[in-house]
């Protein structure tokens, strides 16, 4: 963590200058929305006053004079301040250890007594973010808003430096936020300025400030970074096989191909399609270049689901189950209907967003995508069985 002289930079440069140190803002929830902003931390000496709410801060001139007098004669003037050390070796002392808190409060009390500052009805405190310390052994938590590091420092939203649309969050698809490498949820945010152990800052993931727990973040990452890419690939495979199935049936029906040649061609097409997707998937950016960008796929997620549903339902109704139907095909069809129904239920939960079922609704997003994947898999198996032979029966006959 580096200290930044914000006001010094404002004085040195004009509003037309761009900052040389790029920092990522903290994301916090305010009135139901997520905003980027600056979550300011603070530490200072103040005092409580009987019968009054809140805390008062000491005049900076008093605090400054106390330290100047101490530095002039460290053994005579407020010698307790010598206990305050630079624990993290960053060149600036910090008050973090119990003995340092006691030393500072004792020194301030003595200084105020020497200057005649009235302390009747007042109690000194050392404020460090959300805690007010009366001593190293006694403290209390200060009330604050959930997005604040402390109630005694500003939190303000960023609404400048608007980037082009291509640089905005979401331009690269849902994984701009829902990914383990994305700083949106999992970026480090300052939790504690100086730890009591070594004086070093303590960090926490941004999702904690947003009030989201780790399992939900991991579920979202799993869905967007693993489930959806596989869904888009298998949807392409399903569409290709569905088209090939129709063409082969027409070729056999019109006598262009024999059933045996159609079966052989089925294996060739299947191997070719799988090889194509493997090569494209292993080549960074190639699949997006020759098909659609992740943003386009995520934006048309609804229509992709419609395509899977239409193909799957058409396959389920394409052949009547009778005595000649194999047990394998019956089992595949039952699974297909199960995932069709499961996907529909998840979709209804997503659309309705029923009050009191927020946890179920969150799970429904992942459940819907998984249902689409298994729906596509069962449909692909059904198509493959239809394009080949089952127990010697020609699926192109009749």
State the pLDDT at residue 397: 44
Q: Are residues 312 and 224 in the same domain?
A: yes
> 42, 192 in Cβ contact below 8 A?
no
State the pLDDT at residue 160: 65
Core vs surface per residue 304-321: b (16+ CB within 10 A) or e: bbebbbebbeebbeeeee
Number of domains composing the chain: 2
Q: 194: how many CB neighbours lie within 10 A of its CB?
A: 24
Residue 30 sits at φ, ψ, to 5 deg, of -140, 120
Pure H helices in 145-213:
183-186, 206-209
Residue 37 sits at φ, ψ, to 5 deg, of -170, -170
> 227, 369 in Cβ contact below 8 A?
yes
Q: Are residues 142 and 289 in the same domain?
A: no
Q: Are residues 364 and 255 in the same domain?
A: yes
Is 311 part of a structural domain of the chain? yes
State the pLDDT at residue 89: 83
State the pLDDT at residue 390: 37
> 38, 156 in Cβ contact below 8 A?
yes
Last residue of a domain, one of 139, 161, 183: 161
Q: Are residues 147 and 233 in the same domain?
A: no
Q: CA nearest 94: which of 209, 1, 203, 206?
A: 1
Is 157 part of a structural domain of the chain? yes
> How far apart, in whole angstroms, are the C-alpha atoms of residue 106 and residue 78?
9
> 155, 100 in Cβ contact below 8 A?
no
Residues in the chain predicted with pLDDT less than 50, given as ranges, are 390-398
Q: Are residues 146 and 223 in the same domain?
A: no
Is 380 part of a structural domain of the chain? yes
Q: Are residues 244 and 367 in the same domain?
A: yes
Core vs surface per residue 159-179: b (16+ CB within 10 A) or e: eeeeeeeeeeeeebbbbbbbb
> 249, 396 in Cβ contact below 8 A?
yes
Is 266 part of a structural domain of the chain? yes
Is 30 part of a structural domain of the chain? yes
For residue 315, give its domain range.
215-394
State the pLDDT at residue 266: 76
State the pLDDT at residue 2: 62
Is 355 part of a structural domain of the chain? yes
Q: Are residues 155 and 230 in the same domain?
A: no
């Amino acid at each position: 963590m580096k200290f930044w002289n914000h006001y010094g930079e404002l004085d040195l440069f004009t509003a037309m200058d761009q900052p040389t140190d790029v920092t990522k803002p903290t994301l916090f929830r305010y009135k139901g929305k997520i905003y980027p902003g600056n979550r300011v931390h603070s530490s200072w000496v103040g005092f409580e006053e009987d019968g009054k709410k809140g805390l008062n801060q000491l005049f900076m001139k008093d605090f400054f004079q106390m330290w100047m007098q101490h530095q002039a004669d460290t053994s005579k003037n407020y010698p307790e301040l010598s206990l305050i050390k630079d624990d993290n070796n960053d060149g600036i002392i910090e008050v973090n250890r119990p003995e340092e808190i006691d030393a500072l409060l004792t020194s301030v009390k003595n200084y105020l007594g020497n200057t005649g500052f009235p302390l009747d009805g007042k109690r000194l405190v050392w404020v460090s973010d959300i805690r007010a310390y009366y001593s190293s052994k006694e403290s209390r938590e200060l009330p604050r808003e959930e997005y604040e590091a402390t109630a005694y420092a500003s939190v303000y939203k960023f609404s400048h430096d608007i980037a082009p649309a291509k640089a905005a969050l979401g331009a690269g698809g849902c994984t701009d936020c829902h990914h383990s490498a994305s700083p949106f949820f999992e970026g480090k945010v300052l939790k504690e300025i100086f730890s009591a152990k070594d004086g070093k800052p303590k960090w926490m993931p941004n999702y904690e400030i947003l009030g989201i727990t780790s399992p939900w973040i991991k579920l979202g990452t799993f869905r967007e970074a693993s489930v959806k890419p596989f869904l888009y690939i298998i949807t392409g495979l399903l569409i290709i096989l569905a088209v090939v199935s129709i063409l082969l049936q027409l070729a056999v029906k019109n006598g262009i191909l024999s059933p045996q040649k159609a079966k052989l061609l089925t294996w060739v097409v299947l191997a070719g399609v799988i090889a194509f997707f493997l090569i494209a998937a292993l080549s960074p950016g190639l699949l997006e270049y020759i098909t659609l960008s992740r943003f386009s796929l995520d934006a048309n997620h609804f229509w992709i689901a419609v395509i899977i549903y239409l193909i799957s339902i058409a396959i389920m109704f394409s052949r009547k189950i009778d005595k000649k139907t194999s047990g394998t095909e019956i089992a595949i069809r039952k699974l297909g209907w199960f995932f069709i129904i499961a996907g529909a239920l998840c979709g209804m939960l997503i659309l309705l967003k029923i009050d009191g079922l927020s946890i179920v609704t969150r799970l429904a997003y992942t459940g819907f995508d998984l249902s689409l994947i298994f729906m596509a898999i069962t449909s692909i198996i059904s198509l493959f069985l239809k394009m080949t032979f089952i127990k010697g029966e020609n699926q192109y006959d009749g």
